[in-house]
Amino acid sequence: MHYFARKNTMRHLLLFSFAIIPAFAIHAQPALKPRADRLCDNIEPKVIAWRRDFHEHPELSNREFHTAEKVAAHLKSLGLEVRTGVAKTGVVGILKGGKPGPVVGLRADMDGLPVVERVDLPFKSVVKSTYNGAEVGVMHACGHDTHVAILMGVAEVLSQVKKDLAGTVVFIFQPAEEGPPEGEEGGAPLMMQEGVLDNPKIEALFGLHINSQTEVGQIKWRAGGIMAASDWFYITVHGKQSHGSQPWSGVDPIVVSAQIIEGLQTIVSRQVNLTEQPAVVTVGKIESGVRANIIPETAEMVGTIRTLDTAMQRQIHEKIVRTAEKIAESAGATAEVRIENKTPVTYNDPALTARVLPSLREAAGEKNVIERKPMTGAEDFGFFAQKVPSFYFFLGGMPKGKKPEDAAAHHTPDFYVDESGLKLGVRAFCYMVLDYLGI
C-alpha cells in the first residue's frame, strides 16, 4: 500500500475509534459506589435507631419474635421477596437485580444472651425471660443487635439501586446463633436443612461480627480458619459413696474429678504442638454431692474444646478420653466421656478472601483493614462455610483512643458498642456485593 494511502486509512480508523467511544460511554454501567455512599450516609440514623430498639428489647435463641417481625416488615416495605418462620424465627429476604448474575448471601444473627446488663444507657435492657427453666436477664451482650440493624440498612441501600444490580442478594437473618435451648433445634444447621442456601442457590456468603475490642473504623480479617471449632465434653466419674469421716471406705469422685481437671490442662500445655494452631480445653461446670459429710457416688463435669485444625481436634478428643478414663482407673473409679461437636471452624475461603479484600480496603481505607490472628471463640457461621465459599470479618466497635484491654469483652454485663462504627459495616457489605456482582 502506498504511504499516503496507509496514512489516510490509519487516520480514518483513529477517527472511527474516537467517534464510537461516546456511544459506549452512554451505555456504560453507572458508578454505583458514590450513590451507595450517599445512601449509607442517609441511612445511618435509621440503622442506629433500629439497633437501639433491638438492644432495648433483646430476645433469646429461638424466641426472636419482635426482632423477626420488625425485620420482615422492613424487607417487605422494600419490595423484597420475604420468607418468615425459617428455622423457627428466621427471616430471609431476596433482592433480585435488574440483570441476571451471581447469587450472593449476607447473614446477620439475631439472638441475645442470658446476661443482666450493667451499662447505663437510655436504651438499656431490663428484659427478663426464662432460660433452661431459670429466670434470667436478657441482653445483647455480643452485638447481634448491631448485626441485624446493619443488614437492614444494607437491604435498603441495595434495594434503591436494584435495577443496576447484575445478580441476586439473599439477606439471611438467623436465629439461635448462641445455640438453641435444650431439647430444641435451631441456628445455622436448621436453616440449611430448610434450604436457605439452595433456593436460590448461593455461590458466596458474607458475614460480619462487631468487636468491642477493635477500634471504630477498623476491619479485621484472616484467610483460612478465623474462629475455632467448638466442642463440648461431658465427663461422669463413678466412685463409691461413703461417710465423709471415713474416706478410705469409699472412692471419692470429687477428688478424682479434681485430678482429671488437672490432667486435662496438660493436654494443651504439654501434649499438642501449639506452634501449629492454638487450642483450649476448659472445664466450665462441675456438680457433685448433697452435704458436707457424705462422699457422693458420682461427680459430673462439663467443658469446652476449641481448635482450629481438624487433625488436632481429633487428637485432643482422644487425649481427653484417655486422660479421664486412666486417671479414674488409677483411683479405683470409672469415667464416662461424651463429646459433642457444636460448631465447626469458621473458615474463610482463601480465593474469596483475596477477591473481596480490595472492596474492604476501598470501604475502610488501606491502613484500617488489618490481618488478625485466629480467635478461639466460635461461630455457627462455620456451618454455612462448610457448604459454600464464605468470608467472615470483624468490624470495629470500640471507641477511638480506648485500649482493648480496658474494653469489656463480649458475653459480659459491661459489653459496649460505639454506634459510630455501624455505617462502615453497611458500606463494607455494600462494596463487597457491588464488586462481587461485577458492578
Percentage, residues of the chain above pLDDT 70 = 93
Q: Is the pLDDT of residue 26 over 80?
A: no
Residues 98-136: tens digit of each pLDDT:
999 999 999 999 999 999 999 999 999 999 999 988 999
Annotation marks residue 177 as catalytic: yes
**pLDDT tens digits, 383-429:** 999 999 999 999 999 999 999 999 999 999 999 999 999 999 999 99
Kindly tell me if the per-residue pLDDT of 248 is higher than 90.
yes
Domain annotation for the chain: domains and CATH numbers: 32-227+345-436 (3.40.630.10), 229-343 (3.30.70.360)
Q: Is 111 a catalytic residue?
A: yes
Q: Which of 59, 64, 109, 111 is catalytic?
A: 111
Closest C-alpha among 50, 236, 77, 223 to residue 153: 50
pLDDT at res. 105: 98
pLDDT > 60? residue 28: no
What's the pLDDT at 132? 86
Provide mean pLDDT across the span 201-211: 98
Q: Is there a contact between 333 and 239 (Cβ–Cβ < 8 Å)?
A: yes
Extract long-range pairs of 324-332: CB within 8 Å, 24+ residues apart: 324/235, 324/237, 324/260, 324/263, 324/264, 327/256, 327/259, 327/260, 327/263, 328/237, 328/238, 328/256, 328/260, 331/239, 331/251, 331/252, 331/255, 331/256, 331/259, 332/239, 332/240, 332/251
pLDDT confidence bin for 32, thresholds 50/70/90? confident
Supply the pLDDT for residue 11. Answer: 42
Q: What is the mean pLDDT of the chain?
A: 93
Banded model confidence at residue 55, pLDDT cuts 50, 70, 90: very high
Task: With beta carbons less than 8 A apart as the criterion, state whether 281 and 320 touch.
Answer: yes
% helix, strand, coil for the chain, step of 5: 40, 30, 30
- Averaged pLDDT, 237-266: 98
Which position among 177, 252, 349, 380 bears the catalytic label?
177
Q: Is the pLDDT of residue 19 over 70?
A: no
**Claim: this prediction has a pTM higher than 0.95:** no
